[in-house]
Amino acid sequence: MSEEKESDRFRPRIYIDKEGNWYQDGIPILHKWTYLYNNNLLRRDEEGRYYIEEGPGRIYIQVEDTPFVVRMIDKREDGLYIILNDETEEKLNFDNLWLNEENVPYTKVKNGEFEARFTRPAYYEFTKYLNQEGEEFYIEVNGNKYPLKRITRKKN
């Protein structure tokens, strides 16, 4: 019988990778409705830790980068919309958009409660609207320019 390490007892059993895929005990959660249900229950505590709350308890989750990812961008008459991994969509708020040190775009989603990283396909769509003047980048949509901030983020 192996001895359980103290750190293993408190390691979250649920993990979200940087592509927004969920795992429980190392096994991918592939059932669509379970995946969407878990995304819907996702919250953050006062210390910024992720958890799902079901019934009387909290189940803490380890997140590699961000729990939500932008899968697609849809240009509409009134701006750009992002489609997330939980199949919801939101109008992109350019004030909540930034590039990290590796030029990967991120944005705030779910009323600013969470961050979302752009997937590679969404990034390629995003670059259709990306321009550069000198060292500065900006998004141009419908004749309007929106400067992009550069932010170095702490890992969760």
Residues in the chain: 156
**In this predicted model, what pLDDT tens digit does every residue of 39-83 receive, in sequence order?**
999 999 999 999 998 788 889 999 999 999 999 999 999 999 999
Query: What pLDDT is stored for residue 156 in this prediction?
Result: 47
Which CATH architecture group holds 7-63? Roll (3.10)
Query: What pLDDT is stored for residue 95 in this prediction?
Result: 92
Query: What pLDDT is stored for residue 118 in this prediction?
Result: 97
pTM for the full predicted model? 0.84
Q: Would you say 153 and 100 are in contact if contact means Cβ atoms under 8 Å apart?
A: yes
What percentage of the chain reaches a pLDDT higher than 70? 90
Confidence of residue 6 (pLDDT cuts 50, 70, 90): very low
Q: Is the pLDDT of residue 105 over 70?
A: yes
Which residue ranges make up each domain of the chain?
Answer: 7-63, 68-150
**In this predicted model, what pLDDT tens digit does every residue of 8-42 receive, in sequence order?**
555 678 999 999 999 999 999 999 999 999 999 99
Amino acid at site 40 = N
- DSSP E strands: which ranges in 40-104? 42-44, 50-54, 57-63, 68-76, 79-84, 89-91, 97-99
